[in-house]
Amino acid sequence: MYVCVCKAVTDSQIKTAIENGVCTRKQLFQCLGVGGDCGKCNKQVKELLGGQDRRQVDLPPAQNYPVFNSIQIEVPA
């Protein structure tokens, strides 16, 4: 379905851009031109971008010890 009629941009084009790393409306404007003319598509663009938050990967909790804890360094005498 067309999201931005002014630039003839579809929702699938926007979703593809998001999957390829675009994460802001400014980046979508720079990439596809959406939201720069009449602005009627901004609400739907924002909704499509909002959906990306649900796809983020959960990271494991931080550890309380240095990463290089197992490396032994020889200090010259």
CATH number at residue 18: 1.10.10.1100
Distance, CA of 38 to CA of 34 (rounded, Å): 9
Residue 69 falls inside a structural domain: no
Is 65 inside a domain boundary?
no
With respect to residue 14, please indicate whether it lies within any of the assigned structural domains.
yes
Confidence of residue 36 (pLDDT cuts 50, 70, 90): confident
At 38 the three-state DSSP class reads coil
- Integer Cα distance of 10 and 34 in angstroms: 10
Query: Whole domain around residue 37: which residue ranges?
Result: 2-55
Question: CA-CA distance, 63 to 71, in Å (whole number)?
Answer: 17
Domain count along the chain: 1
Judge contact between 2 and 33, C-beta under 8 A. Answer: no
Residue 64 domain-assigned (yes or no):
no
Q: Classify residue 6: in a domain, yes or no.
A: yes
Ranking 2-6, 10-14, 20-24 by mean pLDDT, the lowest is 20-24
φ, ψ at 24 (rounded to 5°): -135, 160
